[in-house]
A and B are shown apart, each in its own frame.
Chain A
C-alpha cells in the first residue's frame, strides 16, 4: 500500500528523529512511503486559519492536491496537521462558497483539488491498514514487561464527526493502547489520560498556565501508572511532555523523569532502528529503558 508522507513543521525542524522513525518503520511493515515534494505547513491554527477561511482551506487543499496527483492519501504524525487538513477538507466539501474561492485560488497556481485525497493520522492508519497482527509478528512482543502511559493527542480524538476514522468513543480512546499492547507492553490507565498536554496556542500565550496542565498530567502519570515510558500519537505532545519535564525538574516542581516517545519512534526501535538516531533530539534519553530489554 502507498501513502504520502506529510512531514509537518515541528517534525521536520524540531524532531527530525521522528521523521527518520517514520521513514524507517512504515516500509518495514509493507507500506510504500511517498515523498510529497513541495508540501508546506498544514497551515497551523495560529496562522492563516485565524486570518482567512478560504485562504486557509486553499493552502491545506494545495497540500492535499499534491497527494491527490500522486493518487495517495497523506499520513501525518502530528495531530495539528491532521486536524487542520481534515477540517479544511471538511469545510471545502460542505461549503460551496468556500469551495469556489479555493478552486479559484488553486487554479491561479496551476493546482486542482477534487476532494478525493485526505489526511490520515498514523495511529489510525497503522491500526486500520497495517493491523495489530502484522505489527505483533514483526516485533515479536519485544516490549514485554514494559509499562507505558499513553497520550493520544486532542485533535486525533475530537470532534468525532470530523475524525472519520477515529475512536468509537473519543472519551475512552483505545487505538494507541491497542498499538502499544501489540508490541507486548502493558498500558495502565491513569485518571488524567484525556487531559490536554498544554502545548500549542496556550504555551505560546502563557507558559505558566500551560505548565499547570502538563504538571498535573505528569503527576497523575507517575503516581497512578508509574510507567517506563510515555508514548504519544502527536508530535506536539511529544515536544511538550519532553521539554516540560526538564523545565519542571530544574524548578523542583516534579522529582522524576519519564522518557517520552512518539509511537512511530517506539515502533521503529522495535523494528530494529538505531535507538540513538530515532530518538536523537529527545531531551530525556530512553536508552536505559531499552538497554534493559534488548540487552
Chain B
C-alpha cells in the first residue's frame, strides 16, 4: 500500500529541510522534543514496530528534528499509534514520546494531512458528543434493561451544546474540516481573537 511506502533514503537531503519544523511541533505540545538523543529505546517497546509500520516514534522524532516536513506529512503511521504509552514509560531522557506523537498529529492536521477516520470521529464527536456513536444502539440497550439513550450528551441538548461551543473555540473551527455551523455548513475560516 502506498500509504506505508518505505521512505526513500535519498530523501534525507538537508537542503530540503524546514528548520522551523521542530519549533512549530514543540509549541503544539512537544515541549521536551529537543531532549531526544535518538537512542531508540522507544522503538524497542513500540507495537507499531512489532507489526512492521515503517514510521514510528524514534523515526518520527528524528524527522521532526531534521525538519523533513514532507516525509512527516506523507506517512499515515502516526495515526496508527496505539496510544499505549510504552515509549513514554521507557524513555531514559524522561521525554513524553506519546505527547510528541499527538503534537505531530496536530501539525499534520494543520496541513490537512489527516485520515478519513479521524474526520469521521470528529464529526461524530461534534454532532453527538461521542466519537463512537451507533444510532442503532437504542433497541439492544433497551432489550437488556438499560435506557435507550445513556445519560450523556445524547440525552441532553444543553450538554451537547456545551461540547459544541467548546469545539467551536478550537483549532478545529479554523480548519473547517467538519461542518460546525448551526445550519450545517462549514464555518471555514472562523477565528476567535479573544482566545486564540
CB distance from B133 to the nearest CB of A (A): 6
| Chain A interface, >50% SS class | helix
Measured between alpha carbons, how far is A9 from B133 in the docked complex, in Å? 7
Measured between alpha carbons, how far is A110 from B169 in the docked complex, in Å? 15
Chain A: interface residue total (CB-CB under 8 A): 71
Interface size class of B (residues with CB under 8 A): 35 or more
- The answer to whether B53 and A109 touch across the interface, beta carbons within 8 angstroms, is no
- The answer to whether B89 and A49 touch across the interface, beta carbons within 8 angstroms, is no
**Which residues of the partner chain A approach B150 to less than 8 Å between Cβ atoms?**
7, 12, 16, 19
Contacts A50-B106, A108-B169, A280-B144 hold; do A14 and B134 have CB atoms under 8 A apart?
A: yes
- The answer to whether B131 and A51 touch across the interface, beta carbons within 8 angstroms, is no
**A210 contacts partner chain B, Cβ-Cβ < 8 Å:** yes
Measured between alpha carbons, how far is A110 from B163 in the docked complex, in Å? 12
**Which residues of the partner chain B approach A10 to less than 8 Å between Cβ atoms?**
132
CB distance from B48 to the nearest CB of A (A): 7
| CB contact between B121 and one of A19, A46, A162, A199 (< 8 Å): that residue | A46
Measured between alpha carbons, how far is A204 from B118 in the docked complex, in Å? 9
**A101 contacts partner chain B, Cβ-Cβ < 8 Å:** yes
**Which residues of the partner chain B approach A155 to less than 8 Å between Cβ atoms?**
83-85
For B28, give the chain A residue with the smallest CB separation: A53
Most buried by B among A41, A49, A196, A280: A41
Which residues 37-60 of A sit at the B interface, judged by CB distance below 8 A? Answer: 37-41, 43-55, 58-59
| CB contact between B131 and one of A47, A154, A278 (< 8 Å): that residue | A47
Which residues 256-292 of A sit at the B interface, judged by CB distance below 8 A? Answer: 277-278, 280-281
Measured between alpha carbons, how far is A201 from B81 in the docked complex, in Å? 6
**Which residues of the partner chain B approach A80 to less than 8 Å between Cβ atoms?**
83
**B130 contacts partner chain A, Cβ-Cβ < 8 Å:** yes
For A6, give the chain B residue with the smallest CB separation: B152
- The answer to whether A39 and B151 touch across the interface, beta carbons within 8 angstroms, is yes
Q: Which residues of A contact B (CB under 8 A)?
A: 7, 9-10, 12-14, 16-17, 19-20, 23, 35-41, 43-55, 58-59, 62, 80, 83, 91, 101, 104-106, 108-111, 154-155, 157-160, 162, 170, 195-196, 198-202, 204-206, 209-210, 212-213, 277-278, 280-281
Shortest beta-carbon contacts, A-B, top 5: A38-B159, A55-B170, A154-B84, A205-B80, A158-B85
